[in-house]
Each structure stands twice: as C-alpha cells, then as structure tokens.
Amino acid sequence: MAGDAEMTKRRLLDAAAEEFAAFGIAGARVDRLAAAAKSNKAQIYHYFGSKDALFDAVFNELVVRTVREVPIDATDLPGYAGRLFDGYEEHPHVARLATWYRLERAGTREPLETIIVGNRDKVDAIAAAQRAGHIPAHFAPEDLLALVLAISLMWTALTPEFAALVSGHGRDHRRRVVTDAVTALLADRPAGS
C-alpha cells in the first residue's frame, strides 16, 4: 500500500507541475490536475492539504532538484550559467513555475527555506572563490549571483515578439551568448569603472 501512496503522490506532483506551469496558482484547477494524475481531488487534499500547499511542494521539489542537478561551481560561473540554461531548455516548465512563484507568491508567504539556504550557499561559494582570487570581486557575491541567474534565464523571459525576432538563433548560439555574457562580467576591469 505504501508504494501505491507514493506513486499517487508522484503522479499528483508531476501533473501539478504541468498544471501550475501552464496556469499559475490562481488559474490551476484541481479537477483538471486530478484527472491528469489519474486520481481525484480528495487525494490532493489528503496528501497536500490545499492547492497552495501542493504548489509549494512542487516548487520546493523543483528547487531541490535544480540544486542537486546543477550545482554551482563558483570557479566556473560561465559553465554554471550554461548548465542552468541547458536545464531551462530541457525543462521549460521550470522557468514558468519560477515566474508564477514570483508573480503569485512575492511577499504573500514566508520564503521557502530551501531557496534561502540554496541562495546563501551559492553566495558563500562565490565569496570564497573571490577571496581565493579565482574570480574577480568587482561585484558583491549576491549581485554576481543575481546577474548569473538572470543571464541564464534571459531567453525564457522574452516577449513573443522579441522571441520571433531572434527565432533563427539556435540553442548553441543562445547558450554561447549566456556563457559569453557571464565571462564578460568576470573580466578584470579598473577600479571605479
């Protein structure tokens, strides 16, 4: 029986990731989600308590998986940005879920501890690499992390009109732009420039 429960929860989480990515929290429908998971609404409430709690479980799982599958290498931030870009290309729902999280959760709930810890660990890794002289320190570690994350996500944030303008750019080109931009951020520059 425990295996059946775990399989049901897994199906609900997978269906919820797709539903929330497509419609956000407010637009997601538990009946549609339950049908996609070959389950029922009662199971959602039994395992997760509410639609909001289900979104939090999906998002928390996404953060944990991303940190595990794409660990930061502060001595190779262009490579890290490229690997993040690869993840967004291979799993486009990730960027959509993150967008919905920012739109519908910003300031409305306690921040997820997983995200706080993950960001702190990344900032600490960048600071250590800067102290060791592996990367320049002309950006504060948290600013550099924000820039790397934004650049790795930049192609997912385009309006459809701009995306059409650059539609001829293939994945290799887009990835190279990401890694080249992060490389340029790390280039030595004179103080105060």
- Tokens, residue 172: 């290799």
Mean pLDDT of the chain: 90
**Residue 2: pLDDT band with limits 50, 70, 90:** low
Q: Which residue has the higher pLDDT, 165 or 70?
A: 70
**Domain boundary assignment for the chain:** 1-51, 70-186
Which H/E stretch holds residue 147? helix 141-153
Q: Do domains 1-51 and 70-186 have the same CATH topology?
A: no
154 alpha carbon, distance to own chain's centre: 12
Fold (topology level) of 70-186: Tetracycline Repressor; domain 2 (1.10.357)
**Residue 109: pLDDT band with limits 50, 70, 90:** confident
pLDDT at res. 139: 96
CA distances from residue 87 to 91, 95, 109 in whole angstroms, order as listed: 6, 9, 27
Q: Tell me the C-alpha distance between 19 and 123, whole Å.
A: 32
Class of CATH domain 1-51: mainly alpha
Percent of the chain with pLDDT over 90: 63
pLDDT at res. 192: 53
pTM for the model? 0.85
